[in-house]
Amino acid sequence: MKNIVILISGRGSNMQAIVKACQQEQWPARIAAVISNKADAAGLAFAEQHQIPAIVVPSKGAASREAYDAELQRQIDAFSPDLVVLAGFMRILTPAFTAHYENRMLNIHPSLLPSFVGLHTHQQALEAGVKVHGATVHFVTAELDHGPIVAQAVVPVLDGDDEDMLAQRVLVQEHLIYPRSVRQFIEGRMTVEGNCVRIAAEDA
Ligand code: GAR
């Protein structure tokens, strides 16, 4: 059994999609903990309902970014994670933290990276006038919203779209590609070669 620790900051819909896929598809893994930097993250209740330890490591009032990440790392490592999954965890991470979880920490970002890093990605896409938009699963490195790309999903940008409509269309795809990517990692089918991620075919 492999251990997955999921970090959230809010709603946690991607976390929920991963928890459900893990149960329904009987992955050789358990969601060992869900950790939030915000006490009012809605996703914590879902974790509790599913008997998953739901932990708050509050970022508000932390002495420094380094001190916070060190404490977060201590709490994560108490669950001996094979994989750390960032699912709407809205924090910039220190290089020491990203190095500690090198090649074993995934993130989902709501754009087709390397386009539209940072916040308000759907607004950025609308303002850029792109015709397609989407989401990216990637390994986390020290550089924000960079790192080897695992999976991408593409959606059309339609006439009349606003930020919310586009976000909703992308989110549907996030809930497909993120659980699939986590499963591929857990099954040991993912290798990172420089910037490229190779995914071995499923056993027959
Ligand atoms: C998702 O759209 C995710 O891609 C995004 O936050 C949302 C979280 O929703 N993440 C980022 O913007 C990270 N830079 P969720 O809490 O319902 O999964």
Closest residue to atom 9 of ligand 1, CA basis: 88
Closest residue to atom 3 of ligand 1, CA basis: 88
Measured in whole angstroms, how far is the alpha carbon of residue 43 from the centre of its chain? 14
Q: Is residue 143 domain-resident?
A: yes
Q: Is residue 141 domain-resident?
A: yes
Number of domains forming the structure of the chain: 1
Q: Is residue 51 domain-resident?
A: yes
Whether 81 and 32 have beta carbons less than 8 Å apart is answered as yes
- Read off the pLDDT of each residue in 58-84 and give the average, rounded to a whole number: 97
Which atom of ligand 1 is nearest the CA belonging to 171? Answer: 2
- The CATH number given to whatever domain includes residue 193 is 3.40.50.170
Whether 179 and 153 have beta carbons less than 8 Å apart is answered as no
Indicate the top mutation candidate among 108, 120, 178 to test ligand 1's pocket, ranked by most ligand atoms within 8 A of CB: 108
**What confidence tens digit (pLDDT) does each residue in 11-65 have?**
999 999 999 999 999 999 999 999 999 999 999 999 999 999 999 999 999 999 9
Task: Provide the domain limits for residue 173.
Answer: 2-199
Q: Is residue 204 domain-resident?
A: no
pLDDT of residue 204: 62
- The CA-based diameter of the chain, rounded to the nearest angstrom, is 51
Residue 30, classified by CB atoms within 10 Å of its CB into exposed (0-12), middle (13-18) or buried (19+), is: middle
Binding residue per annotation — 112? Answer: no
Q: Is residue 192 domain-resident?
A: yes
